[in-house]
């Protein structure tokens, strides 16, 4: 499995009543996620934070639409 760093843009949520100035200046959230790439499909990827060594189990995953991804890089581990 590859270890990847994904730079992506997340939607931003607003709740409640607020003036138009606040609404019109609301922005999306730039994000960076690092994890094991477990799925790379046509329109989305899934990465996880953890994988068990002796079982087929994964923890703390996120699926990101590819249209939200600005850049994705494979990370390499430097062995000492």
Distances (CA, A) of 38 to 1, 29, 33, 71, 79: 7, 24, 14, 17, 23
Model confidence, pTM: 0.84
Pairing label, strands 58-65, 29-40:
unpaired
**DSSP state letter for 78:** P
Question: Domain residues of the chain, as ranges?
Answer: 3-75
* Tens digits of pLDDT across the chain (80 residues): 899 999 999 998 889 999 999 999 999 999 999 999 999 999 999 999 999 988 889 999 999 999 999 999 999 988 87
Cβ-based neighbours of 3, under 8 Å, separated by 6 or more:
34, 35, 36, 37, 74, 75, 77
């Amino acid at each position: 499995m590859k270890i990847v760093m994904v730079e992506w843009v997340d939607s931003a949520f607003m709740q409640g009543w607020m003036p138009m100035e606040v609404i019109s200046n609301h922005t999306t959230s730039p994000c960076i996620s690092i994890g094991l790439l477990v799925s790379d499909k046509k329109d989305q990827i899934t990465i996880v934070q953890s994988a068990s060594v002796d079982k087929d189990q994964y923890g703390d995953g996120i699926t990101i639409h590819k249209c939200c991804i600005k850049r994705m890089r494979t990370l390499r581990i430097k062995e000492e």
